[in-house]
Structure 1
Amino acid sequence: MNPSISKVSKNRYMSLDPLRNKDDNREYADLRLGDIGELGDCVADFDGEDISVFGGIPGELVRARIYRYRRRKRSVISGMVCQVIEPSPHRVEAPCPNFGPCSGCQWQHIDYDHQLELKRRIVSDSFSFYSTLSDINICSTVPAPSQFEYRNHARFTVRFGGQMGFSNRITRRFVRIDQCMLMEPEINKVLEGLQDKVSETTNLSVRVGANTGDRLIQPTLHAPEVPFLSGQKWYTENLKGRTFRVASPSFFQVNTPQSETLIDLVSEHLALTKEQILVDAYAGVGTFAAILASSVKKVFAIEESASAVSDAASALSDVENLEFLLGKTEKVLGEIDDDIDALILDPPRIGCHADTLKAVIDSRPLRVAYVSCDPSSLARDLDILVKGNYRVMNVQPVDMFPQTYHVECVASLSISS
């Protein structure tokens, strides 16, 4: 479902302020919004200081409520748009009634084509700090097939005797959510059935298989009025015709259709042949490794999560040329004796360990596909690889997370002659 979205009229008063009904001392400022900054917010000058402003679009003139608080032992000032004085042509009506108070989505008020362009700009801005990356081709962002109802995993906060919702990232205030427009419909069914019934926990995780209908709810719920089975150790999901087992602690991409897009992009770049050795580093439950195994002679999949390796051992036992190596990539990659022809790097948000990058440079695979969910750590690591005799052929942003500032990238590298 992609809800209809209409343009917002000029000066429309926006209900973004999560404290708008509180009788307290409020501080407001009229601000001209600059570029997208940290956490997808706009940057604006407030009394000579750059602050982040939620709910705006670059170039707009807005009235914002100012928040002053302490976080990690330092004073922070931020803003939240409450009135748009000069709207951007890219502004639309946010379809979700919880947009703003919830803060889980940052960009529902921006038309989708412009979201894609802003994500490309975020990647470009991250690369601009490195002279080695100045000439890299950053492609247009691959759009998601669904702008809503795409998330297969939800982590709910539980407060006030069983109410489920999220915490606002600025105010830290709890916001009850009866339906989340980003979640797969099956997750919203669970939310509806469990709302006000889960007072025994403070957090609840719900994961579903978009292509299998499987469901995982953690932790185990004991209340007699709970209408769903819970406490499952794992669920299954299907990608590219292959079924994977995913345990509660194991990583799996939250957007199932776009996960297949990533696999296609990686496969296209690596151009694998039956004579080659492939290494899938930070392999998770083995999605890349298992699906690409039929294209190569041998696959080594490196993963430090024991639960993920156990998932792979149970679900992928028929892939005879796939070998899982349990351990940290920075320790295991350099110990592989075979000559590596192709390498997949799919690290967590912090990027690759320095020893991992050294092992890549030392082992000299002909082609590398680097999958990243953080443009800043990607740029840092690519700078090191370029200095280590690699060439970045292109970077392809992929929209795994519509309505948010998050962007996935696939960077294609080859060894320099």
Structure 2
Amino acid sequence: MKNKQIIEFNIDEMIFGGESLNLTEFDKKVIMKGGIIGQKVKAVIQKKRKDKIQAKILEVTEKSYLETEDVCSNFGRCGGCTMLSVSYENQLKLKTEQLLKLFHKFGHTEIENIDVVGSPIQKEYKNKMEFTFGNEEKDGDLLIGLHRKNSSMSIVDVEDCKIIDEDYRKILKTTGEYLRKQGLPHYHIMSHEGYLRHLVIRKGINTEELLINIVTTSQVDFDLTDYINILANIELNGNIVGILHTLNDSFSDTVTPKKIEILYGRDYFYDILLDKKFKISPFSFFQTNTKGAEVLYKTAMNMIDGEKNLIFDLYSGTGTIGISMSQRAKKVIGIEIIEEAVEMAKKNAIANNISNVEFIAGDVKEEVSKLSDNPELIILDPPRAGINPKALKDIIDFNAKEILYISCNPKMLVQDLIILKESGYEIKNVKGVDMFPNSYHCETICYLSLK
């Protein structure tokens, strides 16, 4: 076989992180992004290595025996819902198998099984979506949607997306219809020219409050008054509490605010999590599945025995975990790098009459070493990139009796567990919580104690 050769084969196995394998039809295993066990696919060889062949799926020529569910019009083209076609029961089974294999691959064979707790809702669960302006084909009509799978330049329409609710779909459709009439150019990431970049919609699932943020460059001076009035007149289930205009002239294809202007209402919204009210700003982290987050935190709290004198809540975001755990501690100290999120966390503590929490703005790898008190429990909820090695060393040096590690990226978790075990900790309990139905992602909670 040669590079760029097109081959056809069956998918034999799925591995955690959204990759799949063929193990039986060639002299080496074939590994690729995407794919569902049982599918027959056509793929192109990208790289040949000593022990494997790297390939890219071009098309699915035969569906899997697991694919029994209805899908949206762009399933397979949009890179979002990789397992929308699989029943939710089977999705949980696949995630359970993949998580256990991942733990065993990194030497954690003492874990004999991992329960994956399902999300209370599997469709229309997202409380935040970041859509991109662009087109599917060069010089095509303006679209607002998501990147096409394996393409950073092409956008696909997602107006019938099944993981967002009807309010999102109406806002998307209305925005697209209005802005197409204005003839405004979308931003091109290669030439760095254009105006329209992103549309970010956030919604309080338990409050029905909507915050809309249109992100543009400063290259065009356009009056958005008519757009605001049109949005205000859409018949929605929820209530628009704020419309923002964010200027972003960075070259990066991310929402990087240079300036934020409030066009209507306010620049925050509220949601309720485990009977506590949280104020959420445009760029604050908040779990994207609110109902799933309630399950996540309940599951985490059930792993902890008794009340603690001091808990460290590292990577604390808007304070959701620290505030939720405050009833289990005399004091909670949270550290979060995003200052805006820290301010929200402080306000959230006051709003919920919580007086035993303290939030510090700064990088965990720098701030944790400044703390002098020794906690009984350290809660870790790092970003997808994981924990900085220096921060992990400082965390270990506290010799906390217990560590509760919540991870949105179990591939980083299993690596950090090697270091934690070498430092005297042992794994007591592991559970998965499916915060991302219809995708290959899964949140994982690991409870450790010091020997």
TM-score normalised by structure 2 residue count:
0.78
Partner of 1:110: 86
Matches within 5 A, 1:36-55: 36-37=14-15, 39-44=17-22, 50-52=30-32, 54=34
* CA drift at 1:52: 1.4
- Answering whether residue 212 of structure 2 is matched by residue 217 of structure 1, we say yes
* CA drift at 1:276: 1.3
* CA drift at 1:325: 1.2
Give yes or no for contact 1:37–1:52 (8 Å, CA) kept in 2: no
Query: Which amino acid letter does the alignment assign opposite residue 129 of structure 1?
Result: K
Instruction: Deviation per CA, 1:134-158: give whole Å up to 9, x if none.
Output: 1124422111111111001111111
* CA drift at 1:39: 4.6
Give yes or no for contact 2:11–2:41 (8 Å, CA) kept in 1: no
Matches within 5 A, 1:134-213: 134-160=109-135, 162-172=142-152, 173-198=154-179, 199=184, 200-213=195-208
Q: Could you tell me how far apart the structure 1 residues matched to 2:366 and 2:79 are?
A: 38
Partner of 2:417: 382
Q: Kindly, what percent of the aligned residue pairs are identical?
A: 27
Q: Could you tell me how far apart the structure 2 residues matched to 1:49 and 1:142 are?
A: 31
Partner of 2:218: none
Range that drifts further, 121-130 or 206-215:
121-130
* CA drift at 1:214: 1.4
Matches within 5 A, 1:56-75: 56-58=35-37, 60=38, 62-64=40-42, 66=44
| 2:106 paired residue among 130, 140, 143 | 130
Matches within 5 A, 1:13-412: 29-37=7-15, 39-44=17-22, 50-52=30-32, 54=34, 56-58=35-37, 60=38, 62-64=40-42, 66=44, 77-84=55-62, 88-131=64-107, 133-160=108-135, 162-172=142-152, 173-198=154-179, 199=184, 200-219=195-214, 222=224, 224-226=226-228, 227-228=230-231, 230-231=243-244, 232-273=266-307, 276-317=309-350, 318-412=353-447
Gaps of 5+ in 1: 1-25, 70-74
The alignment yields a C-alpha RMSD, in angstroms, of: 2.5
Q: Which has the higher contact order (CA 8 A, sep 6+)?
A: 1
Q: Could you tell me how far apart the structure 1 residues matched to 2:54 and 2:31 are?
A: 9
Gaps of 5+ in 2: 48-52, 136-140, 185-194, 216-222, 232-241, 245-265
Aligned length: 380
Instruction: Deviation per CA, 1:290-313: give whole Å up to 9, x if none.
Output: 122122111101111101011112
Q: Could you tell me how far apart the structure 2 residues matched to 1:38 and 1:140 are?
A: 15
Query: Residues 130, 365 of structure 1: CA spacing in aligned structure 2 closer, same or farther, 3 A cutoff?
Result: same
* CA drift at 1:163: 1.9
* CA drift at 1:51: 3.8
Q: Could you tell me how far apart the structure 1 residues matched to 2:317 and 2:39 are?
A: 44
Query: Residues 27, 96 of structure 1: CA spacing in aligned structure 2 closer, same or farther, 3 A cutoff?
Result: farther
Partner of 1:23: none
Q: Could you tell me how far apart the structure 2 residues matched to 1:353 and 1:209 are?
A: 32
Partner of 1:4: none
Partner of 1:21: none
| SS at 1:104 equivalent | coil
Give yes or no for contact 1:270–1:342 (8 Å, CA) kept in 2: no
Runs (4 or more) in structure 1 with deviation over 4 Å come to: 45-49
Instruction: Deviation per CA, 1:341-369: give whole Å up to 9, x if none.
Output: 11110000111111222122211112111
